[in-house]
């Protein structure tokens, strides 16, 4: 899994005022404990000072944002609303205890990622992953080469569409990897030093007022630099593993979420295989409870 690149999944014309409100809320919610100044919000959103001030003034009046000593944080009104809305997501309630249990058993960070249209959202996180882009509320576009466990069990036409959006040089590898993921039950993210530096570059772009085209080009470059997953003939000796993700499949056969463990270290291939089985078992328990 990797960083946010904005995606357009709604129909009709966009509403800039609404987009500005959403952008400010996402920025403040990204680190709920942090207090951010107006100048910092202007810098990270690219809004004019007058626009940012107007948005924050309305959010403050509504109780969604709190201002204290010139710093802004998420307000109690928004937190209460979010908690009320969360009651409508039974999957999250069912998965949370198992995510905590798995994190304790493996002694590493674990998170739940749920599919919402064409993007994946981190909705539950236990522990502090080494990768700072993994945090509650983080959105990840459902684009190659990441989130493979959400695609591997899809109908063939959906797989072809997804693979077809990858750079030409990655497509054969992706098709082969998706078959392997179906066979063993989980996806593995591996990083090289170059890949880690590119993730840092993408992180810096997230809060910069750059175009979606530039973000997409950088994401494409990341795909080209990445060795995607492990094939059976590559999984021997010591392997570098960042995340291990297993799908949660609903009664209709659709992957609606995944449970992802974050070892972020080298390990023996046999240890990876055992970890994968444990993560798959946890995901299957959530799927079973969800289907009742």
Q: Using alpha carbons only, what angle is made at residue 58 by residues 53 and 62, rounded to the nearest 5 degrees?
A: 145
Boundary (domain end) residue, out of 64, 83, 102:
83
Verify that 77 and 146 share a domain, yes or no. Answer: no
Q: How many CA atoms lie within 13 A of 92 on its CB side?
A: 17
Residue 136 lies in a domain: yes
Residue 2 · residue 199 · CB < 8 Å = yes
SS3 of residue 68 by DSSP: strand
Residue 28 lies in a domain: yes
Residue 197 lies in a domain: no
Domain count along the chain: 2
Averaged pLDDT score across all residues of the chain: 84
Residue 76's CATH number: 1.10.10.10
Return d(Cα 169, Cα 172) in angstroms, integer.
7
Verify that 76 and 92 share a domain, yes or no. Answer: no
Return d(Cα 4, Cα 120) in angstroms, integer.
9
Verify that 171 and 34 share a domain, yes or no. Answer: no
Residue 1 lies in a domain: no
Boundary (domain end) residue, out of 28, 56, 83:
83
Highest-scoring range by mean pLDDT, 80-89, 139-148, 247-256: 247-256
Nearest to 62 by CA among 123, 117, 21: 21
Verify that 96 and 73 share a domain, yes or no. Answer: no
Q: How far apart are the first and last CA of the chain?
A: 29
Verify that 78 and 37 share a domain, yes or no. Answer: yes
Q: How confident is the model over 15-57, as pLDDT tens digits? A: 788 889 988 988 888 776 778 999 999 999 999 999 999 999 9
Boundary (domain end) residue, out of 83, 114, 137:
83
Q: How confident is the model over 154-180, as pLDDT tens digits? A: 999 999 999 999 888 889 999 999 999
Verify that 134 and 251 share a domain, yes or no. Answer: yes
Query: pLDDT-derived band of residue 11, with 50, 70 and 90 as boundaries?
Result: very low
Verify that 105 and 41 share a domain, yes or no. Answer: no
Residue 105 lies in a domain: yes
Nearest to 4 by CA among 167, 218, 221: 218
Q: According to the model, what pLDDT value does residue 191 have?
A: 66
Verify that 140 and 162 share a domain, yes or no. Answer: yes
Domain with 26 in it: 16-83
Residue 40 lies in a domain: yes
Structure tokens at 78: 């928004």
Q: Which of 32-41, 117-126, 229-238 has the lowest mean pLDDT?
A: 32-41
Q: pLDDT above 90 covers what percent of the chain?
A: 53
Q: Report, as an integer, the average pLDDT of 105-122.
A: 93
Quote the pTM value: 0.67
- Confidence check: pLDDT of 108 > 80: yes
Return d(Cα 271, Cα 263) in angstroms, integer.
11
Verify that 232 and 111 share a domain, yes or no. Answer: yes
Highest-scoring range by mean pLDDT, 5-19, 205-219, 237-251: 237-251
Return d(Cα 237, Cα 272) in angstroms, integer.
11
Residue 149's CATH number: 3.30.450.40
Residue 52 lies in a domain: yes
């Amino acid at each position: 899994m990797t960083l946010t690149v904005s995606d357009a999944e709604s129909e009709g014309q966009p509403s800039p005022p609404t987009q500005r409100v959403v952008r400010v809320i996402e920025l403040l919610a990204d680190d709920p404990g942090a207090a951010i100044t107006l100048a910092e919000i202007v810098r990270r959103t690219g809004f004019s000072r007058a626009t940012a001030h107007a948005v924050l003034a309305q959010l403050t009046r509504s109780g969604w944002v709190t201002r204290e000593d010139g710093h802004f944080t998420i307000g109690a009104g928004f937190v209460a609303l979010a908690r009320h809305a969360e009651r409508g997501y039974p999957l999250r309630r069912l998965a949370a205890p198992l995510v905590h249990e798995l994190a304790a058993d493996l002694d590493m960070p674990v998170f739940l990622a749920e599919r919402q249209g064409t993007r994946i959202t981190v909705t539950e996180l236990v522990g502090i992953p080494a990768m700072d882009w993994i945090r509650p509320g983080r959105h990840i576009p459902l684009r190659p080469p990441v989130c493979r466990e959400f695609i591997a069990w899809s109908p063939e036409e959906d797989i072809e569409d997804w693979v077809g959006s990858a750079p030409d040089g990655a497509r054969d590898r992706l098709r082969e990897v998706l078959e392997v993921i179906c066979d063993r039950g989980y996806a593995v993210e591996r990083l090289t030093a170059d890949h880690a530096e590119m993730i840092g570059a993408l992180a810096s772009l997230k809060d910069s007022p750059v175009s979606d085209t530039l973000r997409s080009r950088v994401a494409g470059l990341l795909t080209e630099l990445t060795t995607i997953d492990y094939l059976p003939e590559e999984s021997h000796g010591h392997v570098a593993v960042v995340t291990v993700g297993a799908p949660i499949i609903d009664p209709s056969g659709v992957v609606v979420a995944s449970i992802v463990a974050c070892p972020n270290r080298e390990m023996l291939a046999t240890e990876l295989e055992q970890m994968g089985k444990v993560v798959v078992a946890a995901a299957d328990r959530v799927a079973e409870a969800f289907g009742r």
